[in-house]
Each structure stands twice: as structure tokens, then as C-alpha cells.
Amino acid sequence: MCLGIPMQVVRSDEHRAECRNGSESEWVDMSLVGEQAEGCWVLVFLGAAREILDEPRAMQMRDALSAVHAVMQGSETDLDSLFADLVDREPQLPAHLQKN
């Protein structure tokens, strides 16, 4: 299984960027999204940026990944706080599955 990790651009050149996820950093291939400014958020799969993210979306993804990590470690965690965008919300089907 491959998970996308939201990472923030620290510095970049034409085809790659040093990106940070917490205290970890790595050089990421930027060929699919182009050169991005310092501070920009990108979604990284297997060492390549695949999508540009806005900061709120990047934070939602980081919270969701933190929740998955906590569950896998068996940690006592308030999962509602990590999925704040889903609390008190009714699930909705995608438009193509909704009745007309």
C-alpha cells in the first residue's frame, strides 16, 4: 500500500525540492507539479510530488495520518480531535451515486 504524505517545501530548484514532514526531510521529484515556492505544501508518493495542497488540507491529512499511527500503536488518543472535519457531519454519497 502506498500512502501520500503531505510535505512542505523548504527549498527547490527546477526539478526537485527539499521537503519536510515534521523533523524529517527528503529531496522530492517535482516533475509532475513543477517548481514550487518555499512554504508550499505538496502531497508526496514514493518520492514524487503528485499534487499541490493548501495548508488546511495538508493539516487535515497530517491529522488523519497521526490517527492511523496512534491506532496502529495501540495508543489512547482522542480520534475525534484528529478528524474534526468529520465530527457531527452526515456522510454524503458522491454525486454519481446519489439518486436523481
Whole-number pLDDT of residue 41: 98
Whole-number pLDDT of residue 51: 96
Global pTM reads 0.76
Distance CA 97, CA 68 (A): 28
CATH number for the domain formed by residue range(s) 5-82: 2.30.30.140
- Residue 16 is classified by DSSP as E
Cβ neighbours of residue 51 under 8 Å, at least 6 residues apart?
4, 33, 42, 43
Task: Say if residue 60's pLDDT is above 80.
Answer: yes
Distance CA 31, CA 47 (A): 11
Summarised one tens digit per residue, pLDDT across range 43-55 is: 999 999 999 999 9
Alpha-carbon distances, residue 49 vs 4, 24, 68, 97 (angstroms): 9, 16, 22, 30
